[in-house]
Amino acid sequence: MRPADAIDRLAAAGCVDPAAEVAEMSRWAPVDVAGWKLPADWVRRRARGEPLPWITGHAAFCGIDVRVAPGVYPPRPWSAELALTAAGRLGEVGRLLDLCTGCGAVGALVRARRPDALVVGVDADPAAAACARSNGLVAAAGDLDGPLRPGAAFDVVTAVAPYVPTPALSTLAGDVREHEPRRAHDGGPDGLDVVRLVVAAAAARLVPGGWLLLELGGDQDVALATDLAAAGFEPAEPWHDADGDLLGLAARRTP
């Protein structure tokens, strides 16, 4: 299909920026001799709402390219700040554990900034763990830190865990609801079911003075404060987007 036709097709399907999506498809499409044809099947799949990274197999994440397998949560641009903050807090030894790693985008960005770091990822979905390995992480499939050896310690723990409150799942974009795995989003009644388990796992895995970095939303920093204190963390530093909405927090394990 010609790019101009693909743009029309995606525009008609309601894509917000069809020209940018077609440009991204063109980047990864197996080109024909004329160099301008896009696989019609790609355009059809995208028009039906399938995430673009599942079609091309790639996502751009803060200047790096990450592989994204079909069915695996595509990384969001706003998660990059968490990764950059993690890279800045790794210290000299540089051991990072990325729980709920998905395709491993957070860990891959940390490795891009700190090539000497050991970056370990875990995800409940074996396809996600395999994808994280393809992005350069040491990654295993399992629940939280379950696959790790007892005593394995880290300087920083990151997690973009599922944190959408179950009642708010219906407010997610239609494409997200229809295509992305519910397990990637559903955080239980207040969105913090898995996050609380991450806090407990991080408390056990972090060295004294190590950092836990979490992506959150709404007023979840307030809701989580008691859990963090009980698990041995100092008062957390939240960060926000340009509109003042919560994006995440950093909490230091008491030295």
Ligand X SMILES: C[S@@+](CC[C@H](N)C(=O)[O-])C[C@H]1O[C@@H](n2cnc3c(N)ncnc32)[C@H](O)[C@@H]1O
The rounded distance, in Å, linking the Cα atoms of 122 and 132 is 9
Tell me whether residue 123 or residue 155 sits nearer to ligand X (CB atom): 123
Minimum distance, C-beta of residue 122 to ligand X, in the bound complex (Å): 6
Three-state DSSP at 41 gives helix
Interaction residues for ligand X, span 38-77 (CB under 6 A): 73, 75
Of 11, 178, 180, 211, nearest to 98 by C-alpha is 211
Minimum distance, C-beta of residue 248 to ligand X, in the bound complex (Å): 11
Minimum distance, C-beta of residue 250 to ligand X, in the bound complex (Å): 16
Which residue stretch of 122-130, 149-157, 166-174, 228-236 sits at the interface with ligand X (rule: CB under 6 A)? 122-130
Q: DSSP E strands: which ranges in the chain?
A: 58-61, 64-67, 95-99, 118-123, 138-141, 154-159, 206-215, 237-240, 246-252
Interaction residues for ligand X, span 191-210 (CB under 6 A): 194
Of 148, 137, 74, nearest to 109 by C-alpha is 137
Minimum distance, C-beta of residue 35 to ligand X, in the bound complex (Å): 32
Interaction residues for ligand X, span 131-170 (CB under 6 A): 143-144, 160-162
* CB of 73 closer than 8 Å to CB of 102: yes
Tell me whether residue 25 or residue 144 sits nearer to ligand X (CB atom): 144
* Phi-psi region at 112: left, alpha or beta (left = phi > 0; alpha = psi -120 to 50): alpha
Of 238, 236, 233, nearest to 208 by C-alpha is 233
Q: Is 101 in the site for ligand X (CB under 6 A)?
A: yes
For 199, the token pair is 């806090």
Tell me whether residue 162 or residue 191 sits nearer to ligand X (CB atom): 162
* CB of 38 closer than 8 Å to CB of 7: no
Q: How many residues sit in the footprint of ligand X (CB under 6 A)?
A: 22
Which residue stretch of 98-106, 203-211, 236-244, 246-254 sits at the interface with ligand X (rule: CB under 6 A)? 98-106
Minimum distance, C-beta of residue 239 to ligand X, in the bound complex (Å): 16
* CB of 221 closer than 8 Å to CB of 236: yes
List the strands of the sheet with 118-123, edge to edge: 138-141, 118-123, 95-99, 154-159, 206-215, 246-252, 237-240
Tell me whether residue 6 or residue 59 sits nearer to ligand X (CB atom): 59
Minimum distance, C-beta of residue 79 to ligand X, in the bound complex (Å): 5
Among 102, 191, 210, 248, binds ligand X (CB under 6 A): 102
Residues of the shown chain interacting with ligand X in the complex, contacts defined by CB under 6 A:
73, 75, 79, 100-103, 105-106, 122-125, 128, 143-144, 160-162, 183-184, 194
